[in-house]
Structure 1
């Protein structure tokens, strides 16, 4: 410990700089593969986390990037659920459900256009537009979940 304190007090000289560069040249090739592997693991975990938050597979993550990515992911998931409701078996797939799907699909298309258009707006207006779109998606999701029997 006394050596470390003494080394910290030594002035930084050209000889010390050359010695540190030489050591780093010898050690860097040994540590590089481990650093790359750690970076790859960290990146895959981060992608899995982001994909989980959006409700998509990690492979689909690149489709939902940018400020409106989360809304686009919600729109696609609702569209998939509508398809399931329309073609469902048993209590699902009734005429009333098909009418609901026919009514909501054009609305989802309009909301997708609105998300893309809002992406070009200045930040305060974009946030306001995204909040409005999110509110509309919330209403559609509640109705969809009611029809699927998830909520009463």
Structure 2
């Protein structure tokens, strides 16, 4: 048996299988979002915490450059550019024809953590904005060969066992 709300004290044990819910508003029909005011000092404190929080993931390069951890983000950006250069992703610069709109790009930033929620590394990726392309106008067909690692191992072992 659960005691009534006014009977609950610090000594009253609460069963583990029951939920505890707190009703912040006595009558939900009378609550009006437009009349509810948040304390300015509380709002300022929350905003300051969010701004100063190192865990906030930046959306733009400009935001990265104004952060205290900019050297870590810069290192991640350089690592991504070196990886792209190593794989020969970028070719020679070619003049774009007048009727062709080039695909844009965007930097995507993430923070990788371990099981203790400690920051392990900063990661930056340069991604193409392919969503702006129109089928039949900007491209005719797409094909991306994808193979599962297990399937690849099977095919290699089959090739070796058959002496092919």
> Do they superpose with TM above 0.5?
no
Q: Normalising by structure 2, report the TM-score.
A: 0.26
More helix as a share of residues: 1
Return the structure number with greater strand share. 2
Normalised TM-score (structure 1)? 0.28
